[in-house]
Amino acid sequence: MPQKAECVNSVSPMADIEMAASDTSARGASSSPSQQQRDVPRLDHVEGYPKLAHVIGRNPEYAIVRRFTTLDVKLLLYLQAELVQLEHELSNLEVLNHQEDVSLQQSVSRLMKAERGTNGWKQWEKIQELLDKKEKYS
């Protein structure tokens, strides 16, 4: 007997979707603002992705989504290659700046305050670019 009650009370995702569709189409325009406010469908009853997300959220066993594993790996490889290139460019700037002004490699504050257009400034800009890319990569 309890099993029968479970079957009667369980609602399939399709039944949820069909019920939301019939609720929405059965509503008519109302004259009073409070009636119109009640006629606005809840987000979980909006057709399309909002309704589907609500149904899957309530029934996670229905979730079938693509993982994009190959695309994830491909994009990571591209980011990795870009990071390697940027790392090489930073190393070249560090060597160049070390030859011009050793203190730039010993004081981050001096590097941060380097005059625009100088190699020290370019090095600091490259570090900022690497930080942004590295964050995406991680």
Statement to judge: residues 50 and 79 lie in one domain: no
In b/e form, how buried is each residue of 118-135, taking b as 16+ CB within 10 angstroms? ebbbbbbebbeebeebee
Q: Mean pLDDT over residues 50-57, rounded?
A: 90
Residue 125 structural domain:
69-137
User: Which residue among 23, 40, 62 closes a domain?
Assistant: 62
**Tens-digit pLDDT profile for residues 12-47:** 555 554 554 444 444 444 455 566 566 666 766 788
Q: Which residue has the higher pLDDT, 70 or 6?
A: 70
pLDDT for residue 17:
47
Pair 51, 75 in one domain: no
What does pTM read for this prediction? Answer: 0.58
User: Which residue has better confidence, 21 or 67?
Assistant: 67
Residue 4 counted as domain residue: no
Residue 125's pLDDT band, with cuts at 50, 70 and 90, is very high
Quote the number of domains for the chain. 2
pLDDT of residue 32: 58
For residue 123, give the nearest of 134, 114, 135 by alpha carbon: 114
The pLDDT tens digits of the residues spanning 69-111 come to 999 999 999 999 999 999 999 999 999 988 888 888 888 888 9
Kindly state whether residues 58 and 25 are assigned to the same domain: yes
Mean pLDDT of 118-125: 94
Assess whether 76 and 56 both reside in one domain. no
Same domain assignment for residues 81 and 100: yes
Q: Is 82 domain-assigned?
A: yes
